[in-house]
């Protein structure tokens, strides 16, 4: 009896990544060379494909050595205000592909900081320290927001007195974080604070709905093969969600990572991935599973 293989219809690039890659490919079709400030997507296979078209990934330290008049792509994660100022200073052209959801979040955090700073209030951001999106969000407050990655970090900050119970708090989340994790952080802050706590719903709706849909998909199959790049934060979160629902969940980067012993004949296999995983890669994985 052969195994059945199904690709999760909700997996694949989110809207912001689709938009950024589309703009990059459009430009590359006309110019042949484009510089991306940081990886346009956290997926090694897709980066290799785009690199073949002329997309080059650079860091901020590389900007002053780019050829005069070069075009710089700001990826969907966004950037802090000083990045745009530096690009202008260096005479670089900019294609801004910041996701509209992230742009709205940047504006909301900037406005929140303007509201609370004169009252001694704080902006709390549930996110991964050092993540590209988080750095762009921090830049909206001049680096004055407090980033909290998990409950352990929050308790540590409370214990050290880094969060004050008597001042207004404005709480936000990185767009790709776990909705359950964010609810827990917000509940603890509300319990802790004796002042006003304003909670902003800033997790991308596409990401939030993915958690419920993916849990259902993982539960509906005997085995889950989850595909994402090694540096994808969203991939790590979603894979752990799959594994919590279905212990027979395995994380790979491409078809070469498949172990045939994971998928015995007669089993039902679900193939899924992160918001940074291209559909073509999911299809390659599914084809490999069908052939073994």
Active-site residues: which are they? Answer: 133
**Helices first, then strands: H and E counts in the chain:** 10, 12
Which of 225, 208, 236 minimizes the C-alpha distance to 262? 225
- Alpha-carbon gap, residue 27 to 31, rounded angstroms: 6
Contact between residue 230 and residue 15 where contact means Cβ atoms under 8 Å apart? no
Cβ neighbour number for residue 151 with a 10 Å cutoff: 12
How far is residue 113 from each of residues 85, 146, 180, 202, 227, measured CA to CA in Å?
A: 21, 11, 25, 16, 38
The DSSP-derived string for 161-229 is T-S-TTS-EEEEE-TTS-HHHHHHHHHHHHHH-SS-EEE---S-HHHHHHHHHHHHHHHTSSEEEEE--
Would the CA dihedral through 174, 178, 183, 185 be positive or negative? Answer: negative
Paired tokens of 77: 């994660």
- Alpha-carbon gap, residue 110 to 113, rounded angstroms: 5
Three-state SS at 155: helix
- Alpha-carbon gap, residue 279 to 8, rounded angstroms: 10
């Amino acid at each position: 009896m052969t195994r059945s293989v199904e690709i999760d219809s909700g997996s694949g690039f989110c809207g912001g990544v689709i938009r950024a890659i589309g703009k990059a490919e459009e430009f590359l079709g006309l110019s042949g060379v484009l510089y991306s400030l940081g990886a346009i997507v956290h997926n090694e296979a897709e980066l290799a494909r785009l690199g073949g078209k002329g997309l080059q990934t650079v860091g901020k330290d590389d900007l002053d050595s780019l050829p005069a008049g070069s075009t710089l792509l700001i990826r969907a994660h966004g950037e802090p205000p000083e990045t745009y100022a530096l690009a202008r200073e260096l005479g670089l052209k900019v294609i801004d592909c910041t996701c509209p959801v992230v742009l709205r979040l940047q504006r909301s955090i900037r406005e929140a900081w303007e509201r609370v700073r004169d009252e001694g209030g704080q902006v709390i951001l549930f996110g991964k320290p050092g993540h590209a999106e988080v750095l762009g969000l921090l830049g909206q407050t001049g680096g004055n927001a407090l980033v909290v990655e998990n409950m352990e970090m929050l308790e540590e900050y409370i214990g050290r007195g880094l969060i004050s119970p008597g001042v207004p708090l404005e709480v936000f989340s990185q767009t790709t974080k776990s909705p359950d994790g964010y609810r827990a952080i917000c509940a603890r802050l509300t319990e802790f604070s004796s002042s006003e706590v304003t909670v902003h719903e800033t997790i991308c709706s596409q990401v939030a709905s993915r958690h419920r849909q993916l849990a259902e998909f993982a539960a509906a199959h005997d085995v889950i093969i989850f595909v994402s790049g090694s540096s994808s934060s969203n991939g790590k979160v979603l894979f752990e969600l799959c594994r919590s629902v279905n212990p027979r969940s395995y994380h790979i980067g491409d078809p070469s990572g498949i172990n045939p012993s994971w998928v015995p004949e007669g089993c039902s296999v679900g193939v899924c991935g992160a918001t940074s995983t291209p559909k073509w890669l999911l299809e390659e994985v599914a084809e490999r599973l069908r052939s073994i």
